[in-house]
Amino acid sequence: MIDDDGYRPNVGIVICNRQGQVMWARRFGQHSWQFPQGGINSGESAEQAMYRELFEEVGLSRKDVRILASTRNWLRYKLPKRLVRWDTKPVCIGQKQKWFLLQLMSADAEINMQTSSTPEFDGWRWVSYWYPVRQVVSFKRDVYRRVMKEFRKCRDGASGEYAEATKRTCLAT
């Protein structure tokens, strides 16, 4: 599903632990790392897509996480021209993403990268909150920076540094 501007609707997922670290996943068979993300199917809401992608990519279900926040707006990035598939129609020039911040409520052992015959990731680790902004592939960097800035207060609230009012504000976004 590609919109009229050539962007594929997509969800991105930031999973944090109780220590304020975020899950960083290594793409299968590659040296690149990123947050879980995936396309929104026709007729599917962003939240439904997020839960589906969460299970497909990292083996977690609704019971394993708590939604802390979602981005107010859709965030876009363009693919470098060398990655655009010009021979497919409609042509996808990038992604428009709705991002979710989740807190892992279950044990780390529940994370399972092998839920599919074609896994997206083959490894993961906990990293400091801002680490992904510096390490993600360059064309996604601005979106990652914007996501992490927007979620910062909500993430801090998850680790107990903010009052209940802050948590309510984050969940309302």
What pLDDT, in 10s, does the model give residues 28-48? 988 899 999 999 999 999 999
pLDDT beyond 80 at 161: no
pLDDT beyond 60 at 26: yes
Q: How far apart are CA 167 and CA 151, in angstroms?
A: 11
CB 126 within 8 A of CB 91: no
158: confidence class by pLDDT, cuts 50, 70, 90: low
Q: Could you please state the CATH topology (level 3) that the domain comprising 7-170 is classified under.
A: Nucleoside Triphosphate Pyrophosphohydrolase (3.90.79)
116: confidence class by pLDDT, cuts 50, 70, 90: confident
**Confidence (pTM):** 0.88
pLDDT beyond 80 at 157: no
Q: Where are the alpha helices (DSSP H) in the chain?
A: 46-58, 131-135, 141-158, 164-172
153: confidence class by pLDDT, cuts 50, 70, 90: confident
Give the closest residue to 55 by CA, choosing from 99, 18, 97, 13: 13
pLDDT at 7: 96
Q: What is the pLDDT of residues 51-109, one digit of tens each?
A: 999 999 999 999 999 999 999 999 999 999 999 999 988 999 999 999 999 999 999 99
CB 30 within 8 A of CB 122: no
What number is the average pLDDT over the span 151-165? Answer: 57
What is the average pLDDT score of the chain? 90
